[in-house]
Amino acid sequence: MTTTNGSDNSHGNWNVERDSNNIAWVHFNKPDASANLLSQTAIKELDDIISGFEKDLPQAVIILSDKKDSFIFGADIKEFTALDNKEQALAFMLKGHALMNRIEKLSCPTVSMIHGLCFGGGTELSLACDYIVASDDKKTKIGLPEIKLGIHPGYGGTARSIERCGPLAAMNIMLTGRALTARAANKIKLIDAMVPVRQLKSAAESYALTAPKRKPLPFLTRITNNALIRPLIASQMRKQVATKAKPEHYPAPYSLIKLWQQYAGNKKLMLEKEAIAVADLATTDTA
């Protein structure tokens, strides 16, 4: 792998290398930390990197972690809990939204290369990429655990997870907050490929260079997102959630179900409403 810009490739938490195929390998490595957190600083730095790619487009972009046993743990919870009001919370969420949207709209293939733990904002960043490849190592776990913190995904993970693997599988992941093995994530199509660690880089490179077309979801999976069917499924989801918690005590899952029921037919609107919903939840006593 060769670099093209020398020392200019360092961006604080990130390092960018362009190889002989003009693939940009974007390494996440939070200094003096055992794990990567998608802090506001890291988001700003990556946003600047993506801005550079928009001006000087690589053949493809591959995002990976230099940490031994983890990809991205998620957002920096300390920053999140320091928010004082809904306005601050919404501004916080929209910065993440803007980054994910820019990644999604890049005019070249984008690949998330996961080894180890990938949670919350790390999973949402991956979902903004065209392809996700993960190692089959037992250390690799992928999830959206925000519901356990009294919120739900807020960096686009709601709409994009549903788009990838269908509403039933995606809502189950988000409502339970459970972590999936790479095998389980691959089975429900949350990721595109699961490979041995030794093949991970070559698999990511293959997706980057060939940009294969993803197969559409099966008809029976897609039909569950139909506007006429969503209310019926949402009602069942609420009943299941109610056996564990009431909305006045634990509003996050109910907010997520409402978001899906009302806006799943319009991705752009669902993303906008997602940010607002999480900002509301973030300033409640349950978050």
Catalytic residues: 124, 146
The DSSP-derived string for 113-144 is EE-SEEETHHHHHHHHSSEEEEE--TT-EEE-
**Closest Cα to residue 38, out of 62, 7, 70?**
70
Q: How far apart are CA 280 and CA 86, in angstroms?
A: 6
Q: How far apart are CA 269 and CA 247, in angstroms?
A: 24
Q: How far apart are CA 60 and CA 24, in angstroms?
A: 6
Question: What H or E segment, with its residue span, contains residue 47?
Answer: helix 40-55
Three-state SS at 213? coil
Question: What H or E segment, with its residue span, contains residue 261?
Answer: helix 252-263
130 touches 83 (CB < 8 A): no
Tokens in use for 278? Answer: 């999480």
Q: Which residue has tokens 């993803």?
A: 214
